[in-house]
Structure formats: structure tokens, C-alpha cells
Structure 1
Amino acid sequence: MSNATLLQKSRLFPSPRLTAQVSTPLSILDATVARFPPTGAVWLFCAPRPLDTILQPSFVATLNSFPQWAGQLQWSLVRDGGLHTERFGRPMLVHGCDSDPGVEWVISKAAETLDSIVPSALERVVEKATWISTDFPERIFLSDTPLALHNLVDYAGLPGMSVQITDFACGGYAIAVKIAHPLADAQALMVFMHQWAATCRGSAKSPMDPPIFNPGLLDSYAAGNIDGDSADVALVNTARLLPLHRFDWWNDAKDPAFPSFLAPTGENLKPPLLGENSKSLPLSPSTSAPWTTWDLTRPVSHAMLHFTEEQISNLRAIARESPGCRPNISRLDALLAHIWSSINRARNHSDSACDVFLNVTLSARTRVQPPLSDSFIGSPIFLTHIRASGREASALCPGPTASLIRETLTLFTPEKIGAMLHDAAYEMSPQRLWQAFLGDRHTIVTSWLRLNVYDIDFSGSIPRYVHAVMPKMDGCVQVMDSSHEIGGVDITLYLDSLAMARLIQERENSF
């Protein structure tokens, strides 16, 4: 098993540090992702890394534009009759104090060479454009210090962000970053990474605009009055008609199939005075999650599937030629329809009348009016879902499913987003509800397309590989642009090992 030797661990702060406390409630949607795993990625480079006298100062200079990330992520104080940011389960950031935890900075050394850990971009696409990457040693690149609110309780002194630099025996290096999800989604993280890389190279120009940290701006798009004593019933009803799962962490703990190790964080979602009285409270409607369809004891494999630009264009062309297909489906719609159908066939759903679900992560940035900037900092995301029978979702032709995906995404107009934000603002505990699931009948997809992850360049060399840090759980899918060296798109897939073997076999036979 790969290991890394710790050489240095410290905390970094903006320079100069702020001397006045700033307290910022995070947004309505930031609160809903507090239970999510951290946002993170690992960049691996063949060339020697920049000197410490360049890398660390450039990081601090970049942190000056993100001073809140060196502060303390914590829960807001709860005040009866207070603003929507003062209800239970609302996170906030406090920075500018002597007690700020800073950003953790770690330097480590791996005994392995980069070649022994990850093949080159060209090598990854040689064998049927499929790289079986189950053994990729993600753990050695990430700091083991828990982040603030990692268990929804502990935060004092814990950082919201950590960075680890790992040197390889061959002279290459890796930079891994993880950040608490309420602070940043992948897009917000990339705003930071592009700025840091540009600063390190001595360039003042980042391909992304300067960061905008203003959580209240997102909340201003909520319809109606979100600071009143009760929600607007009409707006709530509008929101509840949207395809948004409402799986309940509180009630699911009573399900015999519910994994016992998840119970503590479920309890941590409850207001302190709630205890066993949750049944007597006017909780919003919810659904029990299908725990019997997710066996967490089964081994999960990891693979990267590469698609060329030509293959993706062909998928869209085939989809658009199918009867009744929407003319406005995108390349991503067609690609997701293809990969989801492959997963469903691998799970043996081809003859099933049971519903299966594609849970898609969406950003609210482009779905409000006027749109938020691409450099808006936070986690303004939510998950919708596409539902179909196993038989329908296993079809070889991507057209009907791609149309269903596009039809679902068009539901989220600025008006519907406003109603959704209004509804979420009044949730008793935003982390109680989960808008997605995993296991045999669910797939979660997250897109990092157009974030230019392979353009991160600290010293004049492109990354050999960019690894998105995702939960190693059955049904987790991530999409990103490939290295410029090969072009196209990479799909990172975590799937039950038996299903993965069937998917890879079908993929090899199709080439």
C-alpha cells in the first residue's frame, strides 16, 4: 500500500491578517450541503514543483482574496423569531480573530514514482479508452486532519480548508486541496486554483474572474419573505412539485436496513431541544430512502472512461435522430444518457419495471435572473433527478433518455428557483433532507466541464492527471474535460465491482 511521509504541517493565514472580526452567514443552499463530503481534487505533475519560497507565498497572496477560508466555519447562533440565517442548522464563517484556524498546509514525501501511481494521458486511453483506477492511492495525498463540521458537531480550531503537497521519488509532485462543502463547490474551488497557479507563475491574469463572496446575494433571489414566521404556502407548493428527492435522515434511522455507522450524524442534524419529540413537530413532508437497494458492504471499483469529441458528437447525432427527441439536447445530455443506460444494463435492470433514478447536480448560478457570476464563491448547488423504469433507462438508443434529461433541466426557471430557495429557507434542519441516493437503483452525476482543470499550471507544465475527490460509493459519476493532450471528456465512475466488470466488458465489445 502506498504511503507518504509527513515533512511539515502548519497553518497559513492571509498577510496581513485582518484585525477586525467579520461574521458572515452562509447561504440557503450552503446550509443544505453541510452533510456532503468535502470538495476536493488532486493535481499530479511530472515536473519538479516550484520552490517553497514561491509556492507558499503565492498561496498566501491568493488567500488574501479569500480571507474567509482561513476563518472558522461554525453554526450560527439560533434566535427565536430571528432572520432566516438564525434558524437551526445554518452555517456561518467568522474570520479576523486571533482564534482563526487558518488553512492547513502540509508537505509530504512519497517513496513511489509518479509512473507507478498513474499512467500518462496517452497510456490511459490505449486499452479501449478505459483505465481501471481502483488502486489509485487517493488517501496519501489528502491531509488526515478533519475539517470543521465534518461530523456536524465539531468545529472549534478545525480548518475549513487543507492543502497537501506531496513530492515523488522521481521529482514530480502532487497538490491536493480539500475544502468543506458549505464553503465551496467545484466551481468555487477552481476560482481559487486558477488564481493561485497564475500568481505562482508570476502572472496577474487568471482565466476566471476575481472571487465574489456574498452569500446573501444568492438568498436575495428567494421569492417572498424568508425572514417571516412562516413560509408562503403557494411558494412551498410550487417548490414541492419540482423533481427534488426529500429523503429523510431522521426517520431512516429506524429502518432495519439503515447502516448503523450513519446514525450518529443523523442525530447531529436534530435541534438540541428536539430529542425524541421529532414526531410532534410540524416537519415538512419527506420520503424514506430505499436502503434495501444499497449494500454498503459490497466492494466498489473505480474506473475512468474516456470519450473523444467525435464519439460524443456521434452520441448526440444518434439521439437527435430518434423519434420524438427534443432538438435542443446537448452533448452532455446525450453522454449522460449513454453512461446511465450502460450502468443500468450492468446492474441487470434491462427487464425491470422498477424505477431507477439519475440524480444530477445543478448550479443555481446560471438559473437565477440576473445570473450570478461564474466566480461566485460558495456551494449554490442542488440535485434534481430523472426517473424511468429500469427497462426504459437501459435502452441502447440515448434519444428518449437525453430528451428526458433536457426536459427536467428546463423546469428550473428563475421563478422555480426562487420558490425552491423560499422553501429551503424555512426547513427546520436543512441537512435532514437528502436530494439524492446511491446504490443499485440510483446514480449521482456531477459535472466539472468547462472548469479547465487541466489548465492549472504552477511552473510551466500541465498536470499528468487530475483526480476529483469523490465518495467511493456505488453509483457516483463525475464528468470533466480531459487533458488537452488527448482532448475529449473523462468520466470517473464508482460502481459495484460486479456491475463494473459487466460495464467494462460491454464497453470493450462495443469498440
Structure 2
Amino acid sequence: MKRKQNVRTVSNYQSELTEAVHCRTNTTTPVLDVRVHPASKAAPHTGPIPLVCVPAVSMPNAAGLVFYDAEGAAALDDLDALQRSLAAVLSAYPQLAGRLRLTQPGDEGRPYTKRYKRTWMSYGQADDPGMRFTVVDDARSLAEILPSPLEGHSGIYQLEAVYDLSLGPELSKPIDAPGRGDGGDGATAGVKITRFTDGAALCFASSHALFDAGALGTFLHDWTAVHAEIAAGKTPTLPSRPFDTDALDALAAGDLDADAADPALVETEAALDVFRYDSWARDPTGKDNPPAPLDAALVPPAEVDALDAAAGRPRGTPPPWHTASGAKPLTYGLEFSADDVRRIHKTTLAGSDSFVSPQDAFAAHIFRLIARARQHSPETQLDFEVACDDRRRFDPPLPETAPGCFNVCLGFNVRAGDVLAPTGGVVAAQRVRSAIEGVTSERLAAWLHRRAHDLDPTREWIVFPGNTTVCSTNWARSALYDADFGAGRPCYVHNLVHGFGGYLVIARKAVPRGEQGSKWFEPGVFVALWLEEEAMGRLIADPELRG
């Protein structure tokens, strides 16, 4: 597919974005909006979601968006066939057609599953909402949506058009969000197909409590496999994807129903490199506290205030409110070749006295670039965070295909001066490696124990979106890249999310047809980065951008 060259400069980016948002409101025509239910109805089920998924309840929906060129999009024309195969694969994922709710008086279950703000799921019921399946036609071409080159900067792209939340299905809001009674009609998962003039986009989204990025890719891979078998006239072979709360919660250590957490397990859990910003904590000097509206809201809820008082109202580290910024970040894509990644890794290894992986070195390289671009003073403490898939780190290990949310966002502080020094890439890479190797089955079991005893599962924040924070997630190994409905793989893959300044997604360059390469960074890497405007300008001009 030959792509139109939509070139934008940094200076005219914001004005063109405003115009584009205004003009795109009338480009779509509704085609279909239905609910799809499992072909084989599951036995009625009502019960708690696994502890490992509870922290994700308040997060925005997980959403994977794949684009197909005109040839690949032809496989999405038969909407009846897509619905049949979707219904078939939902038989292996009945929770995606069900509901999520907060625990209610009268729920039958163990005490820890009925504590404040615990989430329950139900499916196999007569009133299941089903999975939302939406199709629209869009008068735009793919060239108007996909990343477009930034003038004067080779391998740099502007991405705002592709991060359009209207490309995703409308679903229920997180269960504790204000005004949850929205147009999602209770649906916790959905598919939206947008048919452009020369291609198509397919977005699969789910409540983050049910799916993380890895599970998104597995589901789409399972769907395309079932779709291919049905298209070939075969009876589809359904995958085994159990989502068993009892089995997953059995991985937790200690007594989950006790009145308080085990102090020894709390100490074990504290060894994990994870930020635990306490939203109930306040700066005793009064200089670094939340603004007035939040100050009144971020307090112990009435339902648990007595328990908090009985425990002596212990408080942790307050969020660094002074780093918060209301400035809207730019969203750019940074392209790196496989040779760039190899060179960055080789340089990092040469300066390190311990093992670091290519992924450690590459994430550290981006961290350092952002620190340079933000021009931090040497004594500034920086928050670096890396999302880590922990499926294989439990005892016993879980399959990589397990549905649910198993991401733990690892975090650690680094002094800016240490990262800005010539050896800063090595320092950051070693800290990334140390954090990952610190995720042991013993600490994860203790982490689950703490989740069972949280007074409020939304109290602690593992990420604070301030101007000293960099948060990285890696989609390069996602099965989304293999989502072939019969006419080719996607030509572009990304997660549909509104990031904050300092948030980045490391992705793999998509190859619709032909060889992709065996390494996660082959044939190349594409980094989606959100960053403050002035810092972004400095970053893309950095002579060390590609190592």
C-alpha cells in the first residue's frame, strides 16, 4: 500500500490537531451494533475476580488496535462469519460476555472476597450483556490515520490521529467510576471494526481487570485461529483458557481471611521494586499536598474509616504532587532499526559488569533520553517504571496464555545526575535488570496476600504521572502482530490509550506479509512516546537518539 506523506512540523502540530479533531466528527457511518454471546452457554457463575486482577479494576480498559491494508481488510468483509467465529471463541472466554460489579451484602464467599470495593464477576446468566460488536464505515483513508513523518526528522512520526479513542468500542466504565451507568450497557468487552476507504482497523477492548496486553493478543490469536477453521469448513478446536479465581488465589501466601495482614509477609512484599504512593498520606509540611478538590476526596472512605483508625492510621509515602503538570503532551513515534537496538545493547554491555538484556538496555536508553530532554537538575529523584508480565514467575508458573491481568508495574528511583552521566545508560539498565530479577514467586505470593488485606484496593498508586516519571510498557512480543483473519497480518499495531507525559510503548514494526524475524526487535522497533512539547523538541534533536 502506498502511503500519502502527511508532513507536520512541531510548530504547527497543535493547530492542525485541533482542526483535525473538529473535522473528523462526521466521517463515520454506523453499519452494525450488536451483542455476541458464546455459542455454547457457560454454566451460571457468580464470584470474585482473582486477587491478581483487583489492582487493575480502576484502570482504563485494555485495548489493542490492529490496522490492515486493503488486501488484509478484505477478510473483514463477511460480518456474519466474523460474528460466528467470535461466538465460537467466546465459549472459551465466557467472562467476556458477562458483567463486573462490586461485592454486595448477601454475597456468599470467603471473608477476603467481600471486603470493601472487591470486584465480582457473573456470566452464564439470562441477562448477560454479551460482547459488543460494532462496525462503522469511515470516509477517511488509512493515510490520514496511520503515523505520518515529521518534517526534517528521519524516523520520527506524529501519532495523534491514531490515538483516537473513538476507534475503540464503547464499554462500561470502571466499576468504581462516577457515572458508571453509561452507553456501554454493562458490556465489559467489545470489538469495533472501522472500515476506511483503503483498509480497516479492528479494536478489541476489555476491562483491564479481565485482560492485560498479553491476554489481548492471545484472545485475538485464538479468534483468528477459530475463524480460519470455520472458514475451511471444519469444526473449530477451542482453546483451554480457564479463569479460575480459586486456583489463582491459592498462589497467595498466608491467611487471606485474617483480620490483618501478616507482618512478615508485608516485609517480604516490600522487597519488590514497586512504588506504593499512599493517596491518603499528606506532606506534614503542607507544601506538597493534592489540590483542594482531591484533598477532600483522597481520604479513607466511611466504610473503612473505623478499621483505619483501629490500625493507628498508618501512612506511607505521599504522591509527589509537586511534579504534576496539566500540560498536554505531544505524541510522537520513534523508529529504531534492529541494528540500532543491537548497537545500544552492545554499548551497554561493554560498560556493565553484569548481565543486561537487549530489552533492559533499550528501555534504559529511552529513559536516559527523556531525562536529558527534560533537563533535570542532578539531584532530582526520577521515577522509572517498567511493566512486567509475571505469569511465569509464580510457583507453579502460569501459562503465557492465561487470561487475566498479571502485569506488575515495577518502579525504582534513580538520581538524575547518575542517569545523565556518560554511564547513565548502564546505570539505568542495571536497575531495570535488578527490578525484574527481584520478582520472585515468594514475593509475588506475599504481594497477593497484601492485596487481600488492602483496606481500599485503589488507595496505593504504583504510578504517579508527574514530570519526573517515565513509565514503559512493551508490546513487542504481543500475539496481536499475528492476527491474520485470512488475508494477511496487520500493517500497524498499537494500544489505544491516552498516555501522560513520560509514558511510552515499545512496539515491533509490523510486517503484513513475509518474514517478521525471530527477535522481538526485528525487523525494527517503533516507540510511541508522550512527552511535554519543549522536552519532545529536544529529544528528537538529540544526537544520541539512536545510540
Q: TM-score, normalised by structure 2?
A: 0.84
**How big is the shift at 1:340?**
0.1
Letter in 2 for 1:404: R
Is residue 160 of structure 2 the alignment partner of residue 134 of structure 1? yes
CA contact (8 A) 1:161 1:180 kept: yes
SS in 2 for 1:135: helix
**How big is the shift at 1:236?**
1.0
Match of 1:418 in 2: 445
Letter in 1 for 2:120: M
**How big is the shift at 1:250?**
3.7
Match of 1:167 in 2: 195
**How big is the shift at 1:126?**
11
Q: 1:319 to 1:508 in 2, by over 3 A?
A: closer
CA distance in structure 2 between the aligned counterparts of 1:161 and 1:314, rounded to whole angstroms: 41
Match of 1:367 in 2: 393
SS in 1 for 2:458: helix
Structure 1 range deviating more: 211-220 or 178-187: 211-220
Letter in 2 for 1:490: F
Q: 1:60 to 1:259 in 2, by over 3 A?
A: farther
Match of 1:226 in 2: 256
CA distance in structure 1 between the aligned counterparts of 2:378 and 2:413, rounded to whole angstroms: 13
Q: TM-score, normalised by structure 1?
A: 0.89
Match of 2:14 in 1: none
Q: 1:335 to 1:411 in 2, by over 3 A?
A: same
Match of 1:312 in 2: 341
Aligned residues: 501
CA distance in structure 1 between the aligned counterparts of 2:349 and 2:163, rounded to whole angstroms: 40
Equivalent in 298, 303, 322 of residue 273 of structure 1:
303
Match of 1:475 in 2: 502
**How big is the shift at 1:138?**
1.6
Match of 1:55 in 2: 82
**How big is the shift at 1:147?**
3.5
Match of 2:324 in 1: 294
CA distance in structure 1 between the aligned counterparts of 2:428 and 2:247, rounded to whole angstroms: 35
Match of 2:534 in 1: 498
SS in 2 for 1:59: helix
**How big is the shift at 1:251?**
4.5
Is residue 486 of structure 2 the alignment partner of residue 462 of structure 1? no
CA contact (8 A) 1:198 1:205 kept: no
Is residue 219 of structure 2 the alignment partner of residue 192 of structure 1? yes
Letter in 2 for 1:288: P
CA distance in structure 2 between the aligned counterparts of 1:259 and 1:200, rounded to whole angstroms: 51
Letter in 2 for 1:167: R
Q: 1:413 to 1:274 in 2, by over 3 A?
A: closer
Q: 1:206 to 1:401 in 2, by over 3 A?
A: farther
**How big is the shift at 1:427?**
0.8
Letter in 2 for 1:320: L
- Once the two structures are superposed, residues 307-340 of structure 1 have per-residue CA deviations (whole angstroms, 9 ceiling, x without a partner) of 2222111111111111xx2432100100011000
Match of 1:240 in 2: 270
CA distance in structure 2 between the aligned counterparts of 1:251 and 1:361, rounded to whole angstroms: 25
**How big is the shift at 1:386?**
2.3
- Once the two structures are superposed, residues 342-361 of structure 1 have per-residue CA deviations (whole angstroms, 9 ceiling, x without a partner) of 00111112x42011011122
SS in 1 for 2:143: coil
Q: 1:184 to 1:81 in 2, by over 3 A?
A: closer
Match of 2:17 in 1: none
Q: Identity of paired residues, percent?
A: 25
CA distance in structure 2 between the aligned counterparts of 1:425 and 1:281, rounded to whole angstroms: 16
CA distance in structure 2 between the aligned counterparts of 1:59 and 1:509, rounded to whole angstroms: 43
Letter in 2 for 1:355: Q
Match of 2:368 in 1: 341
Match of 1:73 in 2: 100
Is residue 123 of structure 2 the alignment partner of residue 95 of structure 1? yes
**How big is the shift at 1:457?**
1.0
**How big is the shift at 1:14?**
0.9
Matches within 5 A, 1:347-358: 347-349=374-376, 351-358=377-384
CA contact (8 A) 2:171 2:189 kept: no
**How big is the shift at 1:428?**
0.9
Is residue 53 of structure 2 the alignment partner of residue 30 of structure 1? yes
Match of 1:388 in 2: 414
CA distance in structure 1 between the aligned counterparts of 2:109 and 2:79, rounded to whole angstroms: 51
Task: Give structure 1 stretches of 5+ with no counterpart.
Answer: none
Match of 1:258 in 2: 290
- Once the two structures are superposed, residues 429-459 of structure 1 have per-residue CA deviations (whole angstroms, 9 ceiling, x without a partner) of 1111111112211111112232232211113
SS in 2 for 1:244: coil
**How big is the shift at 1:150?**
6.1
Match of 2:5 in 1: none
Task: Give structure 2 stretches of 5+ with no counterpart.
Answer: 1-20, 517-521
Is residue 471 of structure 2 the alignment partner of residue 435 of structure 1? no
Letter in 1 for 2:226: T
Equivalent in 134, 138, 146 of residue 110 of structure 1:
138
CA contact (8 A) 2:329 2:501 kept: yes
Q: 1:29 to 1:265 in 2, by over 3 A?
A: farther
- Once the two structures are superposed, residues 181-207 of structure 1 have per-residue CA deviations (whole angstroms, 9 ceiling, x without a partner) of 101101111111001112223378999
Letter in 2 for 1:450: R
**How big is the shift at 1:60?**
1.2
Equivalent in 146, 149, 157 of residue 175 of structure 2:
149
SS in 1 for 2:523: coil
SS in 1 for 2:129: coil
Q: 1:379 to 1:432 in 2, by over 3 A?
A: same
**How big is the shift at 1:341?**
0.2
CA contact (8 A) 2:483 2:489 kept: yes
Structure 1 range deviating more: 233-242 or 144-153: 144-153
Letter in 2 for 1:491: V
CA contact (8 A) 1:152 1:265 kept: no
CA contact (8 A) 2:494 2:507 kept: no
Q: 1:284 to 1:509 in 2, by over 3 A?
A: closer
Letter in 1 for 2:488: S
Is residue 9 of structure 2 the alignment partner of residue 9 of structure 1? no
CA contact (8 A) 2:160 2:331 kept: yes
CA contact (8 A) 2:64 2:216 kept: no
**How big is the shift at 1:282?**
4.6
CA distance in structure 2 between the aligned counterparts of 1:447 and 1:326, rounded to whole angstroms: 25
CA distance in structure 1 between the aligned counterparts of 2:244 and 2:89, rounded to whole angstroms: 18
**How big is the shift at 1:83?**
2.8
CA contact (8 A) 1:38 1:178 kept: yes
